[in-house]
Structure 1
Amino acid sequence: MQKQVTDEHKHRGYDGRFGPGLPRVSDGSLLFLMHLVAKMRTRQDGGSRIGIILNGSPLFTGGAGSGESEIRRYLLQHDMVEAIVGLPTDMFYNTGIATYVWVLSNNKPAERKGKVQLINAAGRASKMRKSLGSKRQYMTDRDIDDIVRLYGTFEETNESKIFPVEIFGYRRITVERPLRLNFAASAERLAKLDDEKAIQKLDDAEQAALKAACEQLGEQRYTNRDTFTKALINALKAEGLKVSAPLQKAILSALSERDPEADTCLDKNGNPEPDAGLRDNENVPYNESVFDYFEREVKPHVPDAWIDEEKRDELDGRIGIVGFEIPFNRHFYQFTPPRPLEEIDADLKACTDRIKQMIEGLSV
C-alpha cells in the first residue's frame, strides 16, 4: 500500500489524489482526507461538501515544507476548509482523545470565501450514566442543534471564531550568525588531533611530524583564522610538510574553539561564514515581509545575524519555506490568573497546622 501511494504521488502528481504531498507513514489521516477531496464533484457540477472526524494531529503535525504542511497549504489556499469543529473528549468507544470535525467545500458561499470558521464545542458534553469503553460523554440533541446553528449563522461568538485563510500560514526563515573561533596549539587541543579521521589516515611518521609542526606554534591564542592559518602553513613548511585542504581543515578543527570575542571567519569570497551551532529558524506571519519581521524581532537582539536568502519556497520561489498549521486551542485559550499569594500562603499554613496536630496526636 505504501508503495502504491508513493508511486501515485511521484508519477501522477496533481492528476492523482496525493499531489500536494505525503504525510508521515505513521499517520494516514490526511491521506484519507485527500482521498475524499479527490471524490468531490467539480464546481461546474455544483461542487461538494464533505465532513470527516479526525484527531488533532492533522491540524498542526509537520513543520514548514513537510507533507502534512503542504496538504494543509493546498486545502487552505484552494479555499476548501469551511469549518473545523472541536468536539469534547471521551466521545468514542476506543479512544478518549480530542477529535475534530473538518467540513470541506469546493463551492463556498460568497460570505465564506477566503475564511475559515473554528467552532469550539469541547465544553458541550454531558456525562453518561455508564461508560462504554472509553466513551464517557455524549452531546445532547440540543447541543448538536446549537453547534449547527453556530455553523449556519457564521458569526463570531465565544465558541465561534472566523479567520482569513492567511492567518494560518507562515514563512520559516533561516537566521544565520557568523562563525567566530580562536586557535591555539595547547596540549589539550593537540590531543584532539588524534580524533580527526583525516589525520588518522596518515602513517605514524607523518602524524609525528605534523604534531611537531603544530607544537612550534606554542600556546599563543589567535583570534583570527587567516592569521593562524598562515602561521600553521609556515610551521608545516618548516617540517617539510605540505598538507591537503581536507587535512588542513582537520587541523583547524582540532585546534579551534568557539569564541564570541574572536574575529569573524570569512569564506573565500570575503563573506561571513555561518556558524551551524548558532543557526536558528523564525516563523514569519505569511503576509508580513520577512525583512520587516527580521529587523523588528531579530536584529535588536543579535545585530550580527542575517537571513539565509538561499532557503526559498519551492512553489513561490520567495525567501522562507511556507508552512501552514491550525493551532485550534490557541485561538480559544482564556487566561486564568493565578490565586493571590496571600491566599496560597494561608492554605499552606492551614495544611501545615493540620499535619502538626496529627503528629501531636500520635505522640500522646
Structure 2
Amino acid sequence: MSTRHHTTIEDSLPLLLAGDVMLGRGIDQILRSPSDPVLYEDYLKDARDYVRLAERANGTVPRTVNPDYVWGASRDALTDRSRVRLLNLETAITTNDSPWPSKGIHYRMHPANIDCLKAIAPDCLVLANNHVLDWGRAGLIETLRTLEAAGIPFVGAGQDQREAERPAILPAAKGKRLLVFAAGHGDSGIPTDWAADESSPGVHYLPALDEAAIEQLARLVHSHRQPGDTVVFSIHWGSNWGYQVPEAHRRFARSLIDQVGVDLVHGHSSHHPRTFEVHHGRLILYGCGDLINDYEGIGDTAPYRSDLALLYRPVLRGGQLTHLELDPFAIRRLQLQACEPPERSWLVGVLDRQAQRFGGRVIDNGSHLTCRWQT
C-alpha cells in the first residue's frame, strides 16, 4: 500500500536535525535550578559526580550557567529559523521523585530549567524514547505540561494513545506543511508498558518492525496527510553503541518510504553517529548520535567518541533530498564547542567509511561536512 502524494513543490524545505538531547543528570546540575542530585544507578549515586568527571577530563565547569550555555558553538545553527529544527529530547522535565522501578538510569531536568530549551526554541521535540518516562507517568505528564507552557511543540508521547500517535504539523514554504510523526521500538530499551493506550499516558510504541507496523503507520499517515505535505518519521531504535545497521532497520526504513510515503527517516538512540542512506531520493538517518550528554570523562565510550556530535542539515524539494551537510561539534565542559582539527579529521574518516557501505561519501569542505550519494 502506498500513500505518497505526488507534489509540485518548487521551494526548498531546509531542515536541521539532531539526535539525543540529554539535559538531565550532570547537565541539569550546572543549570540555575538543579534537581535533587540523588541517582538510582549502579555507576554513580550523585548527579554532581558527572560534573566532576567532566572537570577531570577537560577543566573547570561553571555552575548556575546561563540558559544557552550548553549549546555553545551550536547556538547560531540551533536558532536559525530559516530551517525547521527537530531534536530528540531524551530527558523528563519533572520534579517527581519516584523513578521508574527496575530501570537502571533515570534522566530528569528541573522544570525551572526550561529556559535552556527556550533559548533555542526548537520547532519540535521528539519524546518517543527510553527516558521520557524515567520518572513515571506523573513525570511524563509534567514534561508535557511544561513544554506546552513554554510553547514548544512535541511529538511521540501524550496523555493517551491518540495524542502520542498524532503528528506535529509545522508550516513549510508557500503554505505547505511538514508532518512529523514519531515512535519508538523496544530494541532501544523502551519498556513495553510505556506504550500509551486509550486511557493511559505514554509513548507511541512499535512492538515490532514488521509488515503489520507498516500497514498501521500507512493508515495513520494517510489519515493526516494532505496533498503537498512533506512527511518526516522520527524513530528511536537500536543499540547505544556500534556502527552496524541491523538489516531489520534497513528493511523497515525502506518500507516507510516505499509503502507509507515517508520522505525522511530520522533515526536515533545510538550515542554516536551511524550512517545515512538515500533510498529512492529519500534520506534515511539510521542513528544521529547524541547532540549533548554528560558522558564526558566516563572513559568507556572512547572507542566511539560520544563526545563528538553532529547537526544534520538536509534540504528537501518535493520530499526529495537535494543537499545534506553536517556540522560537527565536541562536548567539552558540558558544552558544545568547535571540533579541533584532529577530532574533525577522525570524525570525517569514520563517517565516510560508514557512508561508502551504502553508496555515500562524507567530505570535509572546510566549513560543513558535505554528504554525497549515488542517484
After TM superposition, is the score higher than 0.5? no
Between Structure 1 and Structure 2, the one with more helix by share is: 1
The TM-score bracket by the shorter chain reads under 0.3
TM-score (norm 1): 0.21
- Relative to the length of structure 2, the TM-score reads 0.20
Q: Which has the larger strand fraction?
A: 2
